[in-house]
Amino acid sequence: MKNYITLSDIESLDELINEALQLKKENSVPTLGKGKTLGMLFFNPSLRTRLSTEKAAKLLGMEVISMNVDKDGWALEFEDGAVMDSNKAEHIKEAAAVLSQYCDIIAVRAFPGLEDKEKDEAETVLNSFKKYASVPVINLESATGHPLQALTDAITITETKDKDRPKVVLTWAPHPKALPQSVPNSFVEVMQKMNVDLVIANPVGYDLNPEITKKTAVTHNQAEALKDADFVYVKSWSSYEQYGKVLKTDREWTLTKDKLGNSNSPKVMHCLPVRRNVVIADEVLDSQDSLVIQQAGNRTYAAQAVLKRLLESK
């Protein structure tokens, strides 16, 4: 593996999931990363991604340096040929090259603006780091994808499922703020690679990018989708069609216990952070069917498996 920008950087998903589950079982021997440095750059906030990736690197023996670029760094220019006479003090060409002097792997979190679809889909920040860094780059959640979260989700379903081909439902949920489509995009992509029966349920106006969902059933009927589900993955996202807009704020789609009532007692997943009683009701999050903490715990092993692959490829 040369970089981990999208799920297509994974050569064998099954092998990577097994590697992560093996790392979860064994006490890591921190020799592979000895003398190596992971640099983590955050243009946006994080709890799980930041701490689990730092922990994963340390379990492999790496040093970790991190920076809140949005608050502490120079404002970066990404345009080629820009005349830099405004507020951008440093060009990505120098920034990425200099970071490559200090770091053996660079990891970047950069969310979308959710105003200009074309601009967000260009993934300028992440792709510029990939272009100008001379070391591998990891996506810590970008404008359109969150592949570390998706790998975690695949690991969690693999270790929890009790049938060969479980039914997995990705259901939209309300949220007061406009959220990116990155988590559901990557979740759909990773599930499409697994032996699961995947259904996406969302209100009219909230269909995800059809290029991503084209192989998957999409319904606007949440109750119908939830029937016989083995896993229910809950996530809020803003409209892709009316790009970045919040079209629905009532609680009709909030996941409550009565919606799961007489079905299979499905396992409930969410990437976190979650707004209680808006996205998922307390009674679901606090029940034995919630996997959210186990899922967050698995972030470490997903990151460790990816870092291990990148170190082994160097």
For the CB of residue 47, give the shortest distance to ligand CP in the complex, in Å.
4
Q: Cβ closer to ligand CP: 150 or 167?
A: 150
Task: Let me know if 249 is exposed, middle or buried by CB neighbors in 10 A (0-12, 13-18, 19+).
Answer: exposed
Residue 91 assigned to a binding site: no
Of residues 173-232, those binding ligand CP (CB under 6 A): none
The phi-psi region of residue 35 (left if phi > 0; otherwise alpha if psi is between -120 and 50; otherwise beta) is: left
Contact segment (CB under 6 A) with ligand CP among 2-10, 34-42, 44-52, 165-173 equals 44-52
Closest CA to 140 of 308, 299, 275: 299
Shortest CB 35 distance to ligand CP, Å: 27
Smallest distance, ligand CP to C-beta of residue 255, A: 17
Contacts of 273 (CB under 8 A, 6+ apart): 47
How many residues in the shown chain lie near ligand CP by CB under 6 A? 9
Q: DSSP readout, 62-100?
A: -EEEEEEHHHHSPPEE-STT----SS--EEHHHHHHHHH
Q: Extract the tokens encoding 226.
A: 């939830």
Shortest distance in whole angstroms from residue 11 CB to ligand CP: 24
Q: Is 220 annotated as a binding residue?
A: no
| CA–CA distance, 150 with 153 (Å, rounded to integer) | 5
Candidates 40-48, 130-138, 214-222, 275-283 — which segment interacts with ligand CP by CB under 6 A?
A: 40-48
156: left (phi over 0), alpha (psi -120 to 50) or beta: alpha
What x/- string results for residues 237 through 276 when contact with ligand CP is judged by CB under 6 A? ----------------------------------xxx---
Could you tell me the smallest distance in angstroms from the CB atom of residue 141 to ligand CP? 6
Q: Which of 46, 66, 209, 256 binds ligand CP (CB under 6 A)?
A: 46
Closer of 235 and 309 to ligand CP (Cβ) = 235
Query: Phi then psi for 203, rounded to 5 degrees?
Result: -65, 160
- Quick one: which of 47, 97, 217, 247 contacts ligand CP (CB under 6 A)? 47
Among 48, 235, 308, 309, binds ligand CP (CB under 6 A): 48
Q: Per 3-state DSSP, what percentage of the chain is helix, strand, and coil (rounded to 5)?
A: 40, 15, 45
137 or 148: CB nearest ligand CP: 148
Check if the beta carbon of residue 298 is closer than 8 Å to that of residue 274: no
- Name residues contacting ligand CP, limited to 110-149 (CB under 6 A): 141, 149
The Cβ of residue 119 has, within 10 Å, a number of other Cβ atoms equal to 12
Q: Is 48 annotated as a binding residue?
A: yes
Options 46-54, 115-123, 171-179, 275-283: segment touching ligand CP (CB under 6 A): 46-54
Least distance to ligand CP, CB of residue 296, Å: 7
Specify the residue for token string 């996406």. Answer: 200
176 token code pair:
């007061």
Confirm whether residue 146 is marked as ligand binding. Answer: yes
Interaction with ligand CP in 142-161: which residues (CB under 6 A)? 149
Task: For the chain, state the CA radius of gyration.
Answer: 20
Sequence-separated (6 or more) residues with CB below 8 Å from residue 193: 7, 13, 154
> Which residues are part of a known binding site?
46-49, 74, 109, 141, 146-149, 175, 235, 271-272, 275, 299
Can you say which residues are annotated as belonging to the binding site for N(2)-succinyl-L-ornithine? Answer: 141, 175, 235, 275
Q: Which residues bind ligand CP (CB under 6 A)?
A: 46-49, 141, 149, 271-273
